[in-house]
Amino acid sequence: RDFNERCAQCSEVNWGLTDGGGFYCKSCHNVTERTREVVNTDFVANSRVQTISKGLKKQEKNDGSCEWYICEGFQLVLKKQVEALEALGVCPQMKDEILCNFWRCYLQKTKQAYCKRPAGETVKALSVCESSTDVDSDPERPSLLHLLSLSESEGDLQTDCSFASSLSKVSESTSVYSGSVDGSLYLMKSQKEKLRMTMPMTLSFCYMALLWMREPITLSELLRFVVEGHIPYFNVFQHFPEKMKLCGLDLKIFCVESWPVYEEVFNKMHELAAFLDLPRFPDITESCFLHPDMLCMKYLMEANLPDELHNWTCRVVKKIGIGEVDFLTLTPGNKSTRKVKYDVLAAAVIVVVLKLLFLLDDHYEWLLSEFAEERNKNNTEVCTFYSGSPYFEFKKWYEVVKHSLDVEQKKLDEEKAKYLWRCEKPLFYSVKNKSKVLKRRQMVVNLQNQFGKLSDSVQRAEKPNPSSFQLSWSEENTDGSCFHGHSLKGILQEKCGFLRAMNPDYWLCTVKLCNEKLCGHLAHYREVEFPQSYHFVLGLFSFLLRIQPSYIHDEVCMIEHKLFNKKLYTKLKYNTVLRK
Amino acid sequence: SSNEHKLNFKKSKETCLSYIQDALLQKQWKRAAEFLTCYIESLEKDYSREHIGPSEMIWRIGTEILWHHSQSSIKEFNCFMEQMKTLGVKRYLKVCLEHVFHLLCNGQIDEAYQNLSLAESWRFGEQTAIQDKEMKLIQAYRGLLDYCSWSKQKNILLEHGEDGFSDLAVEQEMHSYFRKAAVNLKEIIKIPGVWDIFVKCYVDLLEFYGDHNEAHQVLNEYAYNSKFPANPNAHVYLYQFLKRQGESKKSLISALKILHDIVPSHELMIDFNTMLQKSKKRKKRRLGLEVIFSALDYAGWKENAKAWSCLARQMKQIVISEKHLDWIKQEWNSRKDWWPAFHFSRYLAKRNWQENKSLSYEKALVAGILLGKDCKYFKYISHQGCKAQLKRFRMLKKFVNRHSPVYLRISG
């Protein structure tokens, strides 16, 4: 449609696109060699590629680069990400049917493509202005610094300033601003439009698709895979085709120099789901991985806790109704229901169960542990002969898990210090500083080689295979470091055919829940002194899920309030110790 | 903290640096190299607002690692330094200079000289003017190396001279080194600073060629120009020079005055006291007493027999003449509370007697005068000495007994 050349054969201007993306003359069916330089992926195999016409003349530049739009870039990113997920075992349907439909819907809704009038008119304001030689003279033209500041990615002010100042002397076309056609326009989009596409948002898309497909990957796992390098995110632009030159403002959009944040990705996902007017997501039932019963089982294993605790988590889940389909399934746009963080919720359930059984007030759990230790000592022979499972000793568990946790945490801290953000593909702000950048990169590589050789002989191995479990415990270990099979006998008592906890008390994390919308949290973890055991347990799950303990604390508070709802509002029957 | 699950470029590099720092402090060079490898990509980010940027960090850290790492060679080290020179033009000369220091430490004088010459010829727009100080240092060090070469030639010449040969070539070379060295050394010592080695070498050159006036002037400037930082060595050099020149006691004494003020514990205080004691001027003799007392205030002098003998001699002289006992009183006033425990304890008496009889003799004399014949130190030593039938101790005992009223006058 934007191809205005006359047909070589019949001199008409009446072009259409073949399936292969080439132009053919509708009048005489002459097929040209000119092809639409769109990043045509498997995604959009059958659709008509009107996509992103903005009224600019399409030119293939001399240096082998092509014109490309920002959303094409993001499309590529999503493609790479979903392919990586596929490699991790996710169902291929997700790519072909789910994600690409979400993406198409997004493009449509944001009027970037698949619609009649794409939002591209304002691009003209930034295009070549023949008479003016001074880029700053046009009052409508936004200041470059302003554009740079609009981007969320981190920048060094100095580089930005030098980039901006170097441009003010140039009178070339907007391609100097960015390798893409609409880089500057993209950053200019008003802040009202919160759903301007960003790199973190690609993860929101992925998560949304995963949730729709009910794949067994939680958000915390997804983000961990990203950080471990199994899912393209940092430096994903190095997989862009050669023709798509990245420079200038594109860097602000596609270069990421910070780890994705759970809350951010999570909230964006929900905004997106509502924005796209998606219907109710497929049901999350008891057989789903994301159901608290399933996730609790996984986390109990990973936390090296006895399998018997699973009965208790299921009981709690059932009692407060968080296993119900309607509670768990996402209905976009429904503002009244609390958005469910499946992983955090499951972890919080386990924490509550531990509090129920062990109290975790820095006294009782150790007492129980001593009893268990005594019984284990006395029963050594009898125990192994008959039931085979020793009494669960909190103290032993604490020591074993703390040790492993400390080791892993230390490893993680070192990983963070050694984290590499750059890739081999060098980035230039402008063609002008290209040689400088290349020289720098060469020096960096040389120095890395020189000092790499002097490093510890155990070189960094290839990144380990992605694993669902960060901590693993084997029952085959004879040192007794695996607690899965241990028994809760010592802390339970039978009453009327029911097993009850021996512990009669419970302390609430908070008496009153805050208004999440006002202060962002349900409760305030940092401001209160909680027992050390509680801190430890939160810390353990905080490490496993890679999120702040305060988020888990919030869910714990929420669960407690649901659980003790009646008791909070009626007279307290039991000796519940309340803490503010 | 470990509970922070966020991470960005800046934070991760800060953490990386702290790991490097720990590794360096514990001399774990391999580990430091490992983390430095990860830090290096910071070079591609701009840190011009920070006080110390990544290029400087990498230079300094890399230098430490390469210098100490067992698998690193001097070749690798040099190659690295060359890279660092290209990294920061504002630091070019500083890097050159430090590179030269390392080469010198490694005994590679020739390479060091080459590097200095290269650096001297460096020009880079306005940077040349900005880095003027570093340039002067580079020239000064080249002058220093020229001096070393001169010195070598001089020694060759002296050897040959003994054999009766006169080697013209060597002589000419020697003179040429002299000129090169002199010009640079003269320049640097004009700038206020601490230039001990340059001054010494320059003075050596001047003396050799007989330009004593210039040498004297240089040393005077170095010692007395208030723009220069207070430097005890300056006075020491001046004093030594004057002594070599056979100058009068008067000038020698005046040369040591300021040294006494700034470093009362300096080893030259013995010479100073010796000269002052013998002076005809009362003021000078008074000063001499002050000087020797001040020196003995310092723990390092406690067992210096020479110092004690100076003090003993002077005090004996005063006591015998019965003039200026008030001098001793004045000096003793501020010391009588702590010198007894510091110098004259019974423990020290035993130890001194065991280790050094001369020392104990001198000290006993001083103790006897200051603290009287009944003080523990004197009693012990004199008793031991008489027991051992050493004549001088008997004399000592007699002397102190004879002059015991003096003690009363001092202490009262």
DSSP A210-261: HHHHT-S--HHHHHHHHHHTSS-BTBGGGGS-TTS--BBHHHHHH---B---
pLDDT band at A134 (very low <50, low <70, confident <90, very high): very low
**Quick one: pLDDT band at residue A141, thresholds 50, 70, 90?**
very low
User: How far is it, in rounded angstroms, from Cα B164 to Cα B178?
Assistant: 23
Look at residue A246 in the predicted model and tell me its pLDDT: 82
Say if residue A335 is in the same domain as residue A273: no
With cut-offs at 50, 70 and 90, classify the pLDDT of residue B405: confident
pLDDT at A415: 92
Flag if B38 and A422 touch (Cβ within 8 Å): no
* Any B CB within 8 A of A440 CB: yes
**Do the Cβ atoms of A418 and B43 come within 8 Å?**
no
B34, A456 in Cβ contact below 8 A? yes
A293 and A259 share one domain: no
Residues from chain A contacting residue B41 (CB–CB below 8 Å): 420-422, 444, 448
Report if residue A302 sits inside a domain: yes
Q: What pLDDT was estimated at residue B274?
A: 94
Instruction: Tell whether A216 and A327 lie within a shared domain.
Output: no
A238 and A342 share one domain: no
Of B157, B202, B161, which is closest to residue B178 (Cα–Cα)?
B202
Q: State whether B12 and A549 contact (CB < 8 Å).
A: no
**pLDDT given for residue B28 in this prediction:** 94
What's the pLDDT band for B408 if we cut at 50, 70, 90?
Answer: confident
Are residues A254 and A335 part of one domain? Answer: no
Count the domains in chain A.
3
Region B371-398: what's the mean pLDDT?
A: 90
Same domain as A331, residue A393: yes
**CA–CA min distance A204, chain B (Å):** 17
The most confident of the ranges A322-331, A371-380, A492-501 is A322-331
> Is the same domain home to A268 and A314?
no
The residue out of A278, A298, A316 marking a domain boundary is: A278
Distance between CA A562 and CA A568 in Å, rounded? 10
Residues A551, A555, A560: CA angle, nearest 5 degrees: 145
Q: pLDDT at position A62, please?
A: 55
- Residue A23 is predicted with a pLDDT of 61
- Residue A3 in any domain: the answer is yes
> Do residues A105 and A220 share a domain?
yes
Q: For residue A478, is it within any domain?
A: no
Range in A49-63, A74-88, A467-481, B385-399 with the lowest mean pLDDT? A49-63
Query: A518 lies in a domain?
Result: yes
Nearest to A416 among B7, B49, B65 (CB): B7
Query: What percent of chain A shows pLDDT beyond 90?
Result: 39
Higher pLDDT, B412 or A372: A372
Residues A86, A207 within the same domain = yes
Confidence of residue B362 (pLDDT cuts 50, 70, 90): very high
pLDDT band at A461 (very low <50, low <70, confident <90, very high): low
pLDDT band at A175 (very low <50, low <70, confident <90, very high): very low
Inside any domain, residue A432: no
Residues of B with CB under 8 A from a CB of A: 2-10, 12, 15-16, 18-19, 29-31, 33-38, 40-41, 43-49, 58, 62, 65-66, 69, 71-72, 76, 79-80, 83, 86-87
Between CA A156 and CA B290 the distance in angstroms is 64
Mean pLDDT of A58-67: 60
Which pLDDT value is given to residue A208? 95
> To probe the interface with B, which of A344, A454, A525 has the most B CB atoms within 10 Å?
A454
pLDDT at A52: 37
Please tell me the predicted confidence (pLDDT) of residue A15. 63
Domain boundary among A213, A248, A278: A278
Position A125 pLDDT exceeds 50 = no
| Shortest CA gap B69–chain A (Å) | 8
Report residue A132's pLDDT band, with 50, 70 and 90 as the boundaries: very low
Mean pLDDT estimate for chain A: 77
Q: Looking at A278, A311, A331, which one is the last position of a domain?
A: A278
- Residue A95 sits in which domain range? 69-112+195-278
Is A363 a member of any domain?
A: yes
Same domain, A212 and A269: yes
Angle (CA) A528 A532 A536, round 5°: 105
pLDDT of res. A138: 45
- Cβ-based neighbour number of residue B400 at 10 Å: 22
Asked if residue A165 is part of any domain, the answer here is no
Q: Residue B123: how many CB atoms within 10 A of its CB?
A: 6
Per-residue confidence band for A388, with pLDDT thresholds at 50, 70 and 90: low
* Confidence label for A307 from pLDDT (cuts 50, 70 and 90): very high
Within this chain, do residues A408 and A316 fall inside the same structural domain, yes or no? yes
| pLDDT higher at B268 or A152 | B268
Residues in B closer than 8 angstroms to A543, CB to CB, are: 2
Please give the average per-residue pLDDT across B86-95, as a whole number.
Answer: 90
Could you report the per-residue pLDDT of B214-267, keeping only the tens digit for each?
999 999 999 999 999 999 999 999 999 999 999 999 999 999 999 999 999 999
CA of B99 vs chain A CAs: smallest distance (Å): 18
Asked if the structure places residue A445 within a domain, the reply is no
Helix axes A309-320, A549-563, angle to 10 degrees: 70
| CA–CA separation, A305 and A353 (whole Å) | 11
Q: In this model, does residue A18 exceed pLDDT 70?
A: no
A241, A352: one domain: no
Residue B278's contacts (CB-CB under 8 Å, 6 or more residues apart) are none
